[in-house]
Amino acid sequence: MQKSVKKEVKIEPSKPKNKKPLPRLGVSIKLGNRNVSQESGDEGVASPAASYGQDTIDVSKLEKAWQEFARKQEKFIQQTLQNAHPHVQESNRLVITLENIFQRDKINDIKSDLMPYLRAELHNDDLALEIIVSEDVETHKAYTPREKLEEMMKDNPALVKLIKEFDLELE
């Protein structure tokens, strides 16, 4: 008869190999106009939201800020902004007129950067931008020589006189 021998095996909890503390996960809670952040280590300290004031819009400052912002943008947006001069309507509403919806979409893409910039530069929290797409802009590209001549004759009446005087014809 054989005796069975039982060994007691002690199981110890495994220790973490990496002794670095785990990164803190940040949570931001927005309370009205105040942000409370737990990630920065300043628990319970509230930072006020940016406030720019309620100044009336100075048209010269607006134009300067508009062009300055435009210069910092990529080529297409830069040209669109430089050609679309904002007009002040009511006390704090800017209106621009664009030629097509593609331009509108591009401006809407950068609107989240444009508006805080303008609010800060013009010291006006309530500043808003309205974009109007012009429907009456009809662009027709002249392709044939006759169409090109007709376009030139619209722009330059002296050309019509020259054609009649010399009895010119276009074939």
Q: What are the residue ranges of helices labelled H in the chain?
A: 59-71, 75-83, 101-122, 145-155, 157-165
Kindly state the tokens that stand for 168: 């010119």
Give φ, ψ of 100 to 5 degrees: -150, 170
From the list 102, 78, 90, 71, the residue with the least C-alpha distance to 130 is 90
Residues 11-17: what's their mean pLDDT?
Answer: 57
Q: What is the pLDDT of residues 111-128, one digit of tens each?
A: 999 999 999 999 988 899
Helix-then-strand count for the chain, H and E:
5, 6
Higher pLDDT, 42 or 13: 13
pLDDT, position 18? 55
> What three-state secondary structure class fits 28?
strand
Whether 62 contacts 118, CB under 8 Å = yes
pLDDT, position 2? 57
82 residue type, one letter = Q
Q: What is the pLDDT of residues 49-106, one digit of tens each?
A: 567 677 788 889 999 999 999 999 999 999 999 999 899 988 789 999 998 899 999 9
Residue with tokens 């509230």: 46
pTM: 0.51
